[in-house]
Amino acid sequence: MVAVDLGGTRMKCGLVAADGAVVHRETRPTPREAGGRAVLDALLETVVELWQKATADGHRVRAIGVVVPGIIDADNGTVVAENLAWADLPVRDALVAAVGADVPIVLAHDVRGGGYAELRQGALTGTTNSLFLPLGTGIAAAMVVDGSLVSGDGYAGELGHTRFIHGDAAELCACGQWGCLETVASAAAIARRYAARTGRTVDGAREVLELLAAGDSDAAAVWEEALTVLVDALVLYTTLVAPTRIAIGGGLVGAGETLLQPLRDGVHARLTFQREPEIVAAVLGEEAGCLGAALMAWDRVTADEESGEQPA
């Protein structure tokens, strides 16, 4: 199985066996600054080279799994991904042409891929109603509802783009709306808001957390604002979908209990009749998306075999 995750700053890719074991892993640059065509070419080159490596190592490639940060039309194999400069790009056709073989190709959303990996062999194992919420450059959710990962025809899970800040405090979000969760509680937002408040440039949310630990009052204020909207978002999600477990991932979960315990306390204080979810750290880290891509592609192979269609 060739698996590639185009989310994040670098492409994460690998070869994954049927049991989920990663037999090869590497990262490669994603040439976003060179435009959408260059990103696609880099993806195609990566898939072809991983295929060649698999063959050289004595493996048979059964399918290809690719996860991307965008809206995927599963029927047509096209992708809209603003931060890859892809506008309805026929990614699946390009992959078929590049590998020159008829194997199943699974395209999925990077966060849903990560959520699926956490569900199958990570922090959400054994749940039927749960949430994977990575807090990174942006915020999106992988929602497990009654045992299924919800995709909403490619549109589901955009919890980062729900509004929790109103009035003059609302900032314009990259999505075009004002006051989104993501403008306050993503790792990128925490760094940006600290810099805006103090005039000091910081090296990401990690430095804000170091300042928080050192007693910096501006860092504490930015952090509190992020926690407040995250609690709002988790309470909303819990009220609507009743997860038994929420796994927080992405760069911010590096804060550990500094993040998780206030979220647990905040959610606990707000719930009245709702079922209270466990709030835990995701466990698969940066590998989750790539692993999820592979697991989804293996599922396709199994389904094709069971339906009697022989994959090439």
Task: State the Rg of the chain over Cα.
Answer: 20
Task: State the binding string over 115-154 for Zn ion (x if CB under 5 A, else -).
Answer: ----------------------------------------
Q: Which is nearer to Zn ion, 176 or 308 (CB)?
A: 176
Contact 102, 312 (CB under 8 A): yes
Q: Which is nearer to Zn ion, 173 or 209 (CB)?
A: 173
CB of 143: closest distance to Zn ion in angstroms? 18
Q: What does the alpha-carbon distance between residue 78 and residue 32 come to, in Å, rounded to a whole number?
A: 18
Q: What does the alpha-carbon distance between residue 19 and residue 214 come to, in Å, rounded to a whole number?
A: 45
Residues 250-269 that bind Zn ion (CB under 5 A): none
Number of chain positions touching Zn ion (CB under 5 A) = 5
H/E stretch holding 131 reads strand 130-134
Applying CB under 5 A, among 54, 124, 142, 173 the residue interacting with Zn ion is 173
Binding flag, residue 161, Zn ion (CB under 5 A): yes
Binding flag, residue 170, Zn ion (CB under 5 A): no
**For 47, phi and psi rounded to 5 degrees?**
-65, -45
Q: What does the alpha-carbon distance between residue 222 and residue 98 come to, in Å, rounded to a whole number?
A: 47
CB of 159: closest distance to Zn ion in angstroms? 10
Binding flag, residue 184, Zn ion (CB under 5 A): no
CB of 264: closest distance to Zn ion in angstroms? 26
Residue 150 CB burial class (10 angstroms; 0-12, 13-18, ≥19): middle
Q: Where do contacts with Zn ion occur on this chain (CB under 5 A)?
A: 161, 173, 175, 177, 180
